[in-house]
Amino acid sequence: MKTSHRWLLYTLLRLGLFVGVFAVLMLLGLWWWASAIFAMLISFTVSYLFFKDTRDALARDLQERRRRGTEDPDAEAENAANDAAGERP
């Protein structure tokens, strides 16, 4: 699965959990700000405990992307041409 799909999946899972908990708390008659705070705390805790595999896969993908770096073949070709010509940037 691509990194962008992992981001989307993890974000939608957490957002859906937050909205669901928020809706239930609002139906129970809590103030909107109290519902938002409790929904945030509950969704954070549940996602931390139960979405570990998704979060870890996303972290591994991001680590691999950072490790690969941003290689630009055009810049590499220009640098090689400059080195061959004896030019300094």
Is the pLDDT at 88 greater than 70, yes or no? no
pLDDT-derived band at 37, boundaries 50, 70, 90: very high
How crowded is the C-beta side of 79, counted as CA atoms within 13 Å?
6
Each residue of 4-20: pLDDT tens digit? 787 888 889 999 999 99
Place of tokens 């993890």: 10
pLDDT-derived band at 67, boundaries 50, 70, 90: confident
Place of tokens 């945030």: 40
Query: Model-level pTM?
Result: 0.65
Which tokens is 4 given?
Answer: 């962008």
Domain ranges of the chain: 3-85
